[in-house]
Amino acid sequence: PRTTTTLSLLPNPTPPHMVTSCFSENGDLFLNKCLRLDDGSTIVVFAEFLQQWVNPRIVAMFVTFLVIVLPFFHFSSVSLHSRLSLLSTKRYITHLISLNEYQKMKLVNFLHRMCYSLVLDVAIYAIFRQHRPCTCTDIDIQMMEGGYVQVDPEYKYSHVGSIYGMPSGDAMAGALLGATIIDWSIDASLSGFASKKMVANGSRIVFGTALGIALSLLVAVERVVLGKHSVAQVTVGVMMGFLLHIYQTRFAPQFMIFVDSILQLVLGLIALNVDVALKYNLNDTNNLLSWFIWGLSFQLFVCLMTARHYFFKKERYMSLLKPWYFVERSLKQRTAITLETCMKGADDSIGTVSPEEYETLSEISAAEQKEERPNLTINSTADMAFLLTCFSLLLLVSLLSSIVSAYNWMGR
């Protein structure tokens, strides 16, 4: 049953203003009802600001950008410090390539988790088929003697957001981002990447945990006050986000990236096509099929980068290991192996060079350094040609999603 909010006539005179009148699509139960606030309120202004920066699309694009620019930071560090003997050796170049690959794969795994909110969530929409909670209109209220009157009785109500909203994809993305911040703060505090003063420093873990939880809650509240989702929808989204993070980082072997992607593709194509209620107009920004294809572009990028890393590259730090050594393990297990190697200061580790190793390397003669200096290019450091090819494919698939939205291709 639909219910409508009531407009109270305020006794104290205030300037004319706009208020929002909404129907609750899913009944009066608090967990399901529309809780949208009036436009212009302080909370709504903050929520709209947060929505611009913390949503799955923005996060996915930003992470992809980081994957592309990451090797340029490493490469510039070599150019900047090339005059130093330690940083001119093959040993450091091996460390550099290993560091780049390790950090890149952490970002790629995070991008894979964000695809749960871009691809899997859209497919689940068509399974649960629970509508978003709010159908609203803005009403112009004018002050008159004795109270307020509604200026125009012919209001045009419209649904807020796409047709379905269970679970909330943005809330899921907020939880995935928050959980990742917590994990990364723990890893940074326990690894050789952190400053010596920050190793195993509890304050970094506490700060990361507080930031991750706060971010997850703020995104959930933002979706509710903007009328995009109900309390139940954001609650399910947050819970799924944390559970999927634990699954992907603790339990799922790396080869499950490919299995997950295939399952999400099949599930989405079936669910979105059998639902006869999904009908769109031209240039419809709420076209779920377009959203699904847009998410698939990032899923394709993740699969290509993962396959290249584990099966088609021969990096020095993996030279003694078969590709399946890491791909059969979860991300957390691989990180633990990497950090253990880092702390031991192994020859091909990703960690920092120990003082003893520094003294040894400092004794290398200038002639030996010249012989060991590799012919380093940005492409050899980070496989940029393949990376940019993958990014080009991502752009082509995302262009297809825009075409689907504009011309309603493959839709009803």
Within 10 A of 50 (CB to CB), how many other CB atoms are there? 19
Is the distance from CB of 364 to CB of 354 less than 8 angstroms? no
d(CA 288, CA 286): 6
pLDDT at 410: 61
pLDDT at 100: 79
Is the distance from CB of 248 to CB of 52 less than 8 angstroms? no
pLDDT at 115: 95
Rg over CA atoms, the chain:
26
Is the distance from CB of 263 to CB of 296 less than 8 angstroms? no
Phi, psi (5° rounding) for residue 319?
-65, -30
pLDDT at 324: 55
d(CA 59, CA 169): 12
Write out pLDDT tens, residues 322-338. Answer: 555 566 667 776 666 66
Structure tokens at 272: 């979105």
DSSP character at residue 38: P
Tens place of pLDDT per residue across the chain (412 aa): 444 444 444 444 444 445 567 778 888 899 999 998 877 788 989 999 999 888 999 999 999 999 999 888 776 655 544 444 444 456 666 667 777 788 888 999 999 999 999 999 999 999 999 999 988 876 555 555 555 555 455 566 777 888 899 999 999 999 999 999 999 888 776 654 444 444 445 677 888 899 999 999 999 999 999 999 999 999 999 999 999 999 999 899 989 999 999 999 999 999 988 887 787 777 778 889 999 999 999 999 999 999 988 887 654 444 434 555 566 667 776 666 665 555 444 444 333 444 444 444 444 444 444 444 455 556 666 788 899 999 999 999 999 999 998 887 765 5
E strands, 177-281, where?
A: none
